[in-house]
Chain A
């Protein structure tokens, strides 16, 4: 099968799945006669999306900005901290359990505290997104660097490599596939974090992001607009996830078993 045909197949199956779900939803709402303010049909959501397209596009841009900056901060901090923790066994033993416990704290619970430390608005969305996205990157980086093939470690010992050189030439590149997996998870979480930050900080007016649009639409009983905004948060998450997946594919597709196996499965 050619590369184009397998690419079409890779896109066609998920699209078919979405089309089936939307079709069942539309027909289900029409047949059951459920009130549209409780569950609007996909056609009503599409109409609301079209009618409010300017406002929704601007809101999506603001949410995407908060999520993306938060994600980049989390990625940089997670990779840096994870590498330091993985490199120093004492830190791995002392800090890793603490990080695991801290990630159990729901961001919604600490969001009011965050208001004390940063301004409402975009800074709040960025911080909230970064906090939620940090742990998957940190954990994946530590696990990736801790799982280096012992045989390769031995090889570097044989050649007298210093710990820092071994980290740069072996541990870090070895952990890239695991870190990319952590980044992909973090991409989705960053959008959730950004929306939570928006909910809490409540900035609005002409600069309202999707989180505020959702809250305002709920107050106005515009369930169709709520669904439209929710759908757009998914688009933001998917775009971030897709971008990271693409970068990850560029980095590891030529040599890592996960990418090789994936392409073989598609044949």
Chain B
């Protein structure tokens, strides 16, 4: 059994595919902080500098999902579902012009998942 840290809803997949065909290679970076923070930011792959201070949580439809290490330390016991809702987040995330916003829904990892993913 392969355990994952994240998944994407069907509705969000459709938006993600649409944006991939428009913009090419993309990444998600989990934001923190003010206003539109604590939300996934979808960015062009070469636009955002990723280094050892970021953790790769997994990939969704070929799009890597990153989070900064210090944030990950507080998040690693939770499983993330990337969903999409109507909205108008103010940030540079690429779905915003479509009047939708990616959103994180979370649940706790199960004991089995914890053992494999956070050993």
A binds B: no
Binding site for B on A (CB under 8 A): none
Query: Which residues of B pack against A, CB within 8 Å?
Result: none
